[in-house]
Amino acid sequence: MGQLEKQIAVITGAGRGIGHAIALKFAAEGADVVCVSRTAENSEKTAGEVRALGRRAWAHAIDVADSAAVTAVSEKIIEATGRVDILVNNAGVTRDGLLMRMSEADWDIVLDTNLKGTFLLTKAFMRMFVKQRSGRIINVSSISGLIGNAGQANYAASKAALLGLTKSVARELASRGITSNALAPGFIETDMTAGLSPELREVMLKNIPMHSFGQPEDIANAALFLAGQGARYITGQVLTVDGGMVM
């Protein structure tokens, strides 16, 4: 029997990269998965892979920063599943550029997706978690939120704010048996990082004590730990998965 047998997980940004890896890892451990992505094609693709593992899956395509859409979809999810045990807030975007040249639009879309989206999804399922007196909230932040990164003021700000949100939610819900934790990935090989130049990749590699880049499965394994029974007594924490970049 898997660690997440008979549990239902909602995962945003499930269409690719880290979210996709978490969805498949959770399904392999017995969870039924609600796959949320910006596009129907990506969410349906991941849902199909979950079903191929013998688990139930639902696919929804929304902009997580759209309050009305989040409300409507969360109601559909609750109606279809009856309960939710795990919420993984992973949806995120980047619009990199030096602050001096950064547009207000690029600032807004990153903060809206990465931070506001997490707020909206957490709020949407919080009442159910409280009623159940159980639930696991896992927010995917970044080491950029811990140490900053030149050219990513908007992204770093959104990911740093996620840590404050994670800890505040943990304090609000701890007495109800609900945990709220964050993951802070380092340099992970995904579509989001694929566009970096070879020169920049080499510079970053030199800053990683383990001298290798992480894989989405490394983050999925950490998410599984936080979702599992072994993390029952852990809340308000940040688990850094970065090969030693931040110590």
Structure tokens at 152: 């990513």
Strand-by-strand arrangement of the 135-140 sheet: 57-61, 32-37, 8-12, 86-89, 135-140, 178-185, 238-241
Tokens of 233: 């007594």
Distances (CA, A) of 151 to 94, 155, 171: 10, 9, 33
HSE at residue 219, side-chain half, CA atoms within 13 A, is 31
What are the structure tokens assigned to 193, written together? 């990082």
Q: What whole-number distance in Å separates Cα of residue 236 and Cα of residue 162?
A: 11
Say if residues 96 and 159 touch (Cβ distance below 8 Å): no
Q: Which among 21, 155, 188, 220 is annotated as catalytic?
A: 155
How is 140-152 classified by DSSP, letter by letter? E--THHHH--TT-
Q: Is 233 a catalytic residue?
A: no
Q: Which residues are catalytic?
A: 155
